[in-house]
Amino acid sequence: MKLPIEFVNRMNEYFSSDSNVSSEGFWESFDSQAFRGIRLNSIKTDRSDFSKVVERMGLSEKKVPWCEGGFYVEDESMKTGRDPYYLAGVYYSTEPSAMLPAQVLGAKPGDYVLDLCAAPGGKACRLGEDLKGEGLLVANEISEQRVKALLRNIERTGIRNAVILNENPDNIARRLPLFFDKILVDAPCSGEGMFRRDPSATKSWEQYGPESCQVIQKQILNATDLMLKPGGEIVYSTCTFGLGEDEEMVLDFLKDHSDYEVIAHPEIEGVTHQKEGSILPGAMRIWPHISEGDGHFCVHLRKKAIQEADSNDNIPELRKTKKRSDHFTYNQSREAFLSFMKDILADNDYEEYENYVNKFYVLHSDKIHLLPVDERLFDRLVVVKSGDFPGEIKNTNTGRVFVPSNCLALTLNYEGIRKDSILSMPREDMRVERYLKGETIIANEEENKVLKTKGFVVVCVDNYPLGFAKKTPDGTFKNLYPKAWRLV
């Protein structure tokens, strides 16, 4: 592979000055096959069952050592984008090294977490999974085009407590100062670690150079500081090798922000940890000639706590208001929604869901949202999605009805759905592909004995929800899988 001469010279200088990392095999790695990986979704699959799911998918059980739930994909013929398990959110397809930053940040239930440069969404999805439905995930992407993929991936994962923004980091910092417990900055970079995966990236590198990225990275880190609570944590990561975008960028930040310290992590298999005496002790790298992954840099920072001040004082004290739609009152719309859910969920799960709705219910122009914080926190910000969006209220000839969104199905658990409201088919059943293509499907005789005569049904693959269909008395289903998501 032909590499930019400036890049070659700089990396040779790096290896000659760092005796802890050998250059042997580094240049050859650019001509080797890039690794593929998947990360299983802990919302949909219990971590104790990860190996069983991988076996069911016909994959090897070769684990990514730096990520719980990460596995290598060694079958080059596997097309994840058309796999029903992928479309059900059972797993996320990603480059193995990209799994490290969210693992290092370690979001906990109840945290307020921000993924500042989130598209396409692999790291944000992992953070949302780790929250276990408690706290808040804000996933931001400044690109209007890339935020669409972020939205799709978060919906597919089944994360309820996420707000998706399409904003400049400075705007978020002005609106939400000292708000977040943890922030992930997977910064825009020159992408040197991705050269072997995308050879065209070298042309971009030659055209713009790392220096243009460094200006943006510094601005992003400064905005990040304004949003982080005292005692909070940042993970800064890139997929590049250059010191100017990695260690030196962080050192400059630490020089200007003396209230931060590096959090050193215990040794992680496959990850090179920088020791005392190196340029940035505690920083971590994945090298393509040492580990099975593309080049990656990662460092974990903590903002020192201020005992005499409570950072929550900076969060606006807001009370939820009952927003009314143009056509239906707040209570009427909620009753229509809950009536639908009562017909779908088993009794015990319905009671739990009703409490969830009553706690987080918000109505916007007949569209229902379930949001764990006051929506006015995000005033003057470009909001792409505000929390859980189960569906909307529509006026029909038969009265007020709730029409579910497809992402509602993706948040449901098979065990909590009424058995007469589930059509679950094995992965190899041809009806699964027909459903994903938007075609009509038909229940067999045994399924018809269990299913309701008519009404909404959750369509599943091996008990993982894919979406909704509407059953008719003759056993056929009107396909409600969104047109924009259908296989072609």
Per-residue confidence in pLDDT tens, the chain, 488 aa = 899 999 999 999 999 987 788 999 999 999 999 999 999 999 999 878 888 888 888 888 899 999 999 999 988 888 888 999 999 999 999 999 999 999 999 999 999 999 999 999 999 999 999 999 999 999 999 999 999 999 999 999 999 999 999 999 999 999 999 999 999 999 999 999 999 998 888 999 999 889 999 999 999 999 999 999 999 999 999 999 999 999 999 999 999 999 999 999 999 999 999 999 899 999 999 999 999 999 999 999 999 987 544 445 555 545 445 554 555 578 889 999 999 999 999 999 999 999 999 999 999 889 999 999 999 999 999 999 999 999 999 988 877 789 999 999 999 999 999 999 999 999 999 999 999 999 999 999 999 999 999 999 999 999 999 999 999 999 999 999 999 999 99
Nearest of 194, 299, 200, 184 to residue 240 by alpha carbon: 194
Structure tokens at 416: 């909590």
The DSSP output letter for 349 is H
Query: Do residues 246 and 227 make contact, with C-beta atoms less than 8 angstroms apart?
Result: no
Give the H/E segment covering residue 355.
helix 347-360
Query: Do residues 451 and 406 make contact, with C-beta atoms less than 8 angstroms apart?
Result: no
CATH of domain 413-488: 2.30.130.60
Q: What is the pTM of this model?
A: 0.94
460: annotated active-site residue = no
Using left for φ > 0, alpha for ψ between -120 and 50, and beta otherwise, residue 58 falls in: left
Q: Give buried/exposed letters for 19-47 (b at 16+ CB in 10 A, else e).
A: eebeeeebeebbeeebbbbbbbbbbbbee
Query: How far is 22 from 272, CA to CA, in rounded Å?
Result: 12
Residue 325 pLDDT: 52
Q: Where in the chain is the domain with CATH 3.40.50.150?
A: 5-303
- The beta strands (E) that lie in 397-443 are given as 399-404, 422-425, 441-442
What distances in angstroms separate CA 165 from CA 62, 177, 187, 297, one per listed residue?
35, 16, 16, 25
The DSSP output letter for 375 is G
Q: Is 5-303 assigned to CATH 3.40.630.40?
A: no
Query: How far is 369 from 407, CA to CA, in rounded Å?
Result: 12
Nearest of 384, 396, 405, 409 to residue 328 by alpha carbon: 396
- Bond preceding residue 188 cis, omega within 30 of 0: no
Query: How far is 183 from 300, CA to CA, in rounded Å?
Result: 10
Residue 50 pLDDT: 86
Query: How far is 102 from 130, CA to CA, in rounded Å?
Result: 9
Residue 309 pLDDT: 45
What distances in angstroms separate CA 146 from CA 7, 56, 399, one per listed residue?
28, 32, 39
Q: Choose the catalytic residue: 117, 125, 189, 239.
A: 239
Query: How far is 418 from 345, CA to CA, in rounded Å?
Result: 5
